[in-house]
Amino acid sequence: MDTQEHVIQIVAETLNLSTSEINESSAMENLELWDSMAQVNLMMSIEQTFDLELDPEDFMKLNSVSNIVEYVDNQ
Amino acid sequence: MGRTSSFEDLLEITSLKQLQEKTGNWFQSLTLLEAQKLQRHINGLGASTHNVKLGFIHTYTSDLLNPWLEFHASIHDIDLDIYHAPYGMNVFEAQAGSGLVQHNPDLTVFMLQREDLHPLIKQPVTGLSVEQQRSLKDDAVANVIKILKAFRHALHGRMVVTILPSRFSAETGMYDLQSEFSEVDWWSNVKKEISRQIDETLDSTAYMDLDSLLASVGRQQFFDLRYWYTTRYPFAAQAANLFARQLVSVVEVICKPKAKVIILDADNTMWGGVIGEDGINGIALGPDYPGNAFIDFQRRILDFKERGFILAICSKNNHQDVIEVLQNHPHQVLREDMFSALKINWEPKHINIQAIAKELNLGLDSFIFVDDSDYECGVVRKELPQVHVVQTPKKAVDIPYCLDNISRLEILSLTQEDKNKTQLYAQERQRKALQSKVSDGGGDIEEYLHSLQMEMSIELNAEHWVERLAQLTQKTNQFNLTTRRYSEQQVQEYISSNNWLVASFSLADAFGDSGVVGLLLIELQGPDAARIDTLLMSCRVIGRKAESAFLETVLTSLQQQGISLVRAEYIPTMKNKLVQDFYSNHQFSTSDNFAFERSLIEQKPLRADDFPMKISLAS
């Protein structure tokens, strides 16, 4: 599974949606369920799944599938 | 790798009972994503049986706990409806029409911080004099109790109060406890005082100490400070997981049948080895490994006995071999008189367990069965699905802790009744012995009842029993005409109300006192009519005409108040077939077998001397 598929799966799981409802352009600004609360759970799941530790400064930047994929790939 | 593959195994599970009966903290290492995945798998197995409404009053972020709460609830077959009040510990939410009051939660959880108790707690308390510390403690406790009282008044369900532990280690450092101004000492006194006042002044309310959760995971694993400083959410994943688990165990205790009996196997459960082969000197039970683990296990079981659980043994052995250990083994902790039932024979275990249920007059769904054998656990699971089966872990070192995560073994309050329970059932054994002696001698049942020298004490609106009366409504399944469950708060309301009559009784006889075992909740409907809302009795006094004596005496009292018509109903459940003819047998008439009425003018209540006991009535 490549990073993007993986991230889409995590976003879908966190927002309780199916993976078909999420794609590379999904983001906080275009998904109603992706609110600030979902964002915190999403950050936790990203950390636990990819075994990395985010800085608080990154929390709000990682607000779209493409941003998250880019961040994870650069680690 | 090991963990990943075991998580995949979890997704293969096809029945919830398998998950519920898993021992140990298997869920503790799950990630949030795994928990959500597993929850979805569980939801796919079918809809939950129980629906429970939760409410949160919180001064820090609480809604991020939702996925963890829903995860643990799903394992225990519970569907949660969760409401989070707006931030803040203010009495506004306790007012009629507030979001919380409208949500009408079965359980309201208070997630407070220390600073909420008193503004001065933001400062180091070690800077205060001993006198100032004391008055700060008193003021802080008074503040929180006052607000809790306002909520208690407005809410019907249970309440659980928590206070977030400090993010910092002790103010005065490593040797804090030695200091005259010790913060740890001060705080533990504050908690003690809050718990004490909750216990004394608030019904159906418990204090859940998060400091003990902090101690078990460690401060660094408990807090994730990044989320705390960015979103006021304090918990690292593992702490959130365990906290949610604890809250769901409270929910379980509220909505599931109470566990009452722990049935233990003997060989390889209470001790290592097989008594019939290894002999009393050969079994592992003593100060060395693995015997010391079995001593610890028995010690744990003793804790549960102190909490009020009844103990029984179900073992395939020669009776005398096991009795020999119970009586004479120097390291045996659980002695013969601590067990209320012993089935040590070669019958199949499910037959023996059914016999224990009959002997103790308790439903199978109140039983926890502990055994090491795949075969025996399998048979009991198959034949008696109502029984909670615990298979002891393979490694001796894990055995002492195998009952630690069963929430139905947690109790929300301990009444004196609970503590006396084993004794009460022992008395019942003696009564049965007398009964068979009387009947063997050709005597009839009336003669037996008179030989018991029973004395019934009926009390009206007895406020001092409110905890026990609520407990009776929650626990009684078989002799219960309507099976309506009430909280302490609700029972208290009925006791205080002029439109309700709350009658209860206890029964003493030659062998001992039953404690409070019966309850009538009666609503007065106008000047001359009344409705029996609840009539229940503990099964331990069945077969002694107590139910009739109780009902007729209370009806006499109603008649004296001018009541001439009494309505009643029978609501059938899986458990209460026993009482389906109760009202028909007590001069009530019915057209449909569910709604009944009795005219006290035509069908006068029976008098006290119609019953084989002395009856006293106190109001």
Chosen from A10, A19, A45 to mutate, greatest number of chain B CBs within 10 A = A45
Q: What pLDDT score does B326 carry?
A: 96
Distances (CA, A) of A41 to A67, B18, B86, B110, B424: 16, 28, 20, 22, 51
| Cross-chain CB nearest to B32 (options A45, A54, A55) | A45
Q: Is B573 on the interface with A (CB under 8 A)?
A: no
| CB contacts, 8 Å: B230 with chain A | 56, 59
Q: How many CB pairs under 8 A join A and B?
A: 36
Mean per-residue pLDDT over chain B, rounded = 90
Interface of B with A in 224-253 (CB under 8 A): 226-227, 229-231, 233, 237
Nearest C-alpha of chain B: how many angstroms from A37? 7
8 Å CB contact of A44 and B231: no
pLDDT at B288: 93
Neighbouring-strand partners of residue B388: B368
For residue B130, CA distances in Å to B180, B186, B541, B567 come to: 8, 10, 54, 62
Domains of chain B: 49-255 (3.40.50.1110), 261-409 (3.40.50.1000), 453-618 (3.40.630.30)
Residues from A contacting B (CB-CB < 8 Å) are 10, 13-14, 16, 36-37, 40-41, 44-45, 48-49, 54-56, 59
Cα–Cα distance, B533 to B576 (Å, whole number):
16
Q: Determine whether A72 is exposed, middle or buried from the number of CB atoms within 10 Å of its CB (0-12, 13-18, 19+).
A: middle
Whether residue B229 and residue A56 make contact (CB cut-off 8 A), yes or no, is yes
Residue stretches of chain B with pLDDT short of 70: 1-5, 412-426, 429, 433, 436-444
ipTM of this predicted complex? Answer: 0.86
Q: With CB atoms and an 8 Å threshold, state whether A10 touches B33.
A: yes
Contacts of B320 (CB under 8 A, 6+ apart): none
Determine whether the interchain pair A56/B32 forms a contact, defined as Cβ–Cβ distance below 8 Å: no
Partner-chain contact B230 A45, CB within 8 Å: no
CATH class of A3-73: mainly alpha
- Indicate the residue of B31, B229, B233 with minimum beta-carbon distance to A45: B31
Q: How many whole angstroms separate alpha carbon B207 and alpha carbon B213?
A: 13
pLDDT reading at A42 higher than 80? yes
pLDDT of amino acid B3? 44
State residue B385's pLDDT score. Answer: 93
A-chain residues near B33 (CB < 8 A) = 10, 13-14, 45, 48-49
Q: What per-residue string of b and e applies to B388-414 under the rule 16 or more CB within 10 Å gives b?
A: bbbbbeeebeebbbbbebbbbbebeee
Mean pLDDT of A11-33: 92
pLDDT over 90, % of chain B: 65
- Chain segment B409-455, per-residue pLDDT in tens: 887 655 555 556 666 666 776 777 677 666 665 566 777 788 788 99
Strands, sheet with B310-316, edge to edge from the N-terminal-most edge strand: B339-345, B310-316, B261-264, B367-371, B388-391
Taking the domains of chain A in order of start, what are their residue ranges? 3-73
Q: What is the pLDDT of residues B276-319, one digit of tens each?
A: 989 999 999 999 999 999 999 999 999 999 888 999 999 999 99
pLDDT of residue B416: 55
Residue B421, pLDDT score: 62
pLDDT at residue B439 in the model: 63
To the query of whether residue A35 is one of the catalytic residues in this protein, the response is yes
pLDDT score of B1: 35
